[in-house]
């Protein structure tokens, strides 16, 4: 976790440009990625190389960045809610002043390749520098991964790995040299994928069908099913089920929530039907989820949203 930044002038490897974390996923059994939440930071770095790909989400206050690399220079104010992407293995210099809290997500290069299903090419994935971009999918996934890092215990990592994988897929599809390659393999284009995800997000459970999802993508059912899995790593129906579980998590966090009522509202036959799928996807029962949420005082934003 501490082998993040190589300072080339002195040969030292450190934990990065942020100060001591407020909290992190250091006690988790996560493989290939980790997350940490940091407070205000004011650091300058000369000729450094990140050993991991990094995403930074600015939270309540702005940040100022002065970045230099490859005869380019960028000076920017990063507003709250905006995201910056710092690729691995690229020499750069800069000054970073975070006036408020921020979340850092780090990916091992190999994890990013596997998450994006990049076995289609032997070429390594290279992310592009991005400073202060607006991306609701990235923001929500980063916040969800941070919420997972705050959950007590270091056991089941399936939820975090799912979120990290979706985060990696989105980053590679939109902000890397592999975007064109991915499109050529037959996966959904970013525009079509967004249309489908918006359809899943905004359509009531009773009106959801594979055919209607395919229509939203402008494809036949057979072709849509294949390319959707290429793009997301799951079938359309698996994605819908995860969205229903996410909705159930949100409702279960309400005061005096009744599990059976939540099950019916989310399109499940009964409490037992919800419990079976809820435990399969999250690793815990709805009742255990409620107890854990109350003990850790998490908010509805801590639910496991896997939409892109």
| 11 and 157 both lie in a single domain | yes
Q: Of 150, 179, 208, which residue constitutes the final position of a domain?
A: 179
- pLDDT, residue 140, reads 93
pLDDT at 29 > cutoff 50: yes
Residue in the block written with tokens 């490859």? 70
- pLDDT, residue 1, reads 56
| 34 and 130 both lie in a single domain | yes
pTM: 0.57
| 12 and 109 both lie in a single domain | yes
Q: Where are the alpha helices (DSSP H) in 91-189?
A: 109-115, 136-150, 158-174, 179-184
Quote the domain boundaries for residue 139.
Answer: 5-179
Q: Does residue 307 fall inside a structural domain?
A: no
Neighbours of 104 (CB within 10 A): 25
Look at the chain and report how many structural domains it folds into.
Answer: 2
- Those residues with Cβ within 8 angstroms of residue 164's Cβ, 6 or more apart along the chain or in another chain: 30, 32, 33, 105, 107, 111, 115, 145
Q: Does residue 308 fall inside a structural domain?
A: no
- In terms of pLDDT, which residue wins out, 252 or 10? 252
Nearest C-alpha neighbor of 251 from the set 289, 208, 209: 289
Q: Of 125, 157, 179, which residue constitutes the final position of a domain?
A: 179
CATH code assigned at 13: 2.60.120.810
User: CA-to-CA distance for 70 and 35, rounded, in angstroms?
Assistant: 28
- In terms of pLDDT, which residue wins out, 65 or 177? 65
| 81 and 192 both lie in a single domain | no
Mean pLDDT, rounded, of the chain: 82
CATH code assigned at 272: 1.10.10.60
């Amino acid at each position: 976790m501490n082998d993040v930044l190589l300072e080339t002038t002195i040969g030292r490897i450190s934990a990065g440009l942020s100060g001591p974390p407020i909290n992190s996923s250091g006690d988790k059994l996560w493989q290939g990625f980790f997350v940490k939440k940091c407070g205000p930071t004011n650091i300058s770095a000369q000729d450094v190389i990140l050993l991991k790909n990094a995403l930074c989400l600015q939270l309540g206050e702005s940040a100022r960045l002065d970045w230099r690399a490859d005869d380019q220079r960028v000076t920017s104010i990063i507003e709250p809610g905006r995201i910056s992407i710092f690729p691995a293995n690229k020499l750069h210099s800069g000054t970073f002043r975070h006036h408020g809290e921020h979340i850092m997500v780090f990916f091992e290069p190999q994890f990013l390749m596997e998450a994006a299903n990049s076995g289609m090419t032997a070429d390594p994935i290279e992310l592009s520098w991005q400073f202060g971009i607006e991306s609701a999918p990235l923001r929500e996934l980063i916040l969800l991964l941070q919420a997972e890092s705050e959950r007590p215990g270091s056991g089941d990592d399936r939820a975090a790995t799912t979120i990290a994988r979706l985060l990696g897929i989105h980053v590679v599809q939109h902000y890397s040299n592999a975007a064109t390659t991915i499109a050529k393999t037959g996966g959904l284009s970013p525009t079509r994928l967004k249309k489908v995800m918006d359809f899943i997000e905004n359509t009531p459970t009773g009106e959801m069908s594979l055919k209607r999802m395919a229509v939203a993508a402008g494809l036949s059912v057979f072709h849509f099913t294949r390319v959707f899995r290429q793009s997301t790593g799951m079938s359309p129906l698996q994605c819908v089920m995860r969205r229903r579980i996410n909705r159930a998590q949100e409702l279960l966090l309400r005061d005096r929530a009744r599990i059976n009522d939540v099950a019916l509202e989310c399109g499940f036959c009964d409490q037992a039907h919800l419990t079976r799928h809820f435990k399969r996807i999250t690793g815990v029962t709805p009742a255990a989820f409620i107890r854990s949420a109350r003990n850790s005082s998490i908010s509805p934003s801590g639910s496991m949203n896997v939409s892109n």
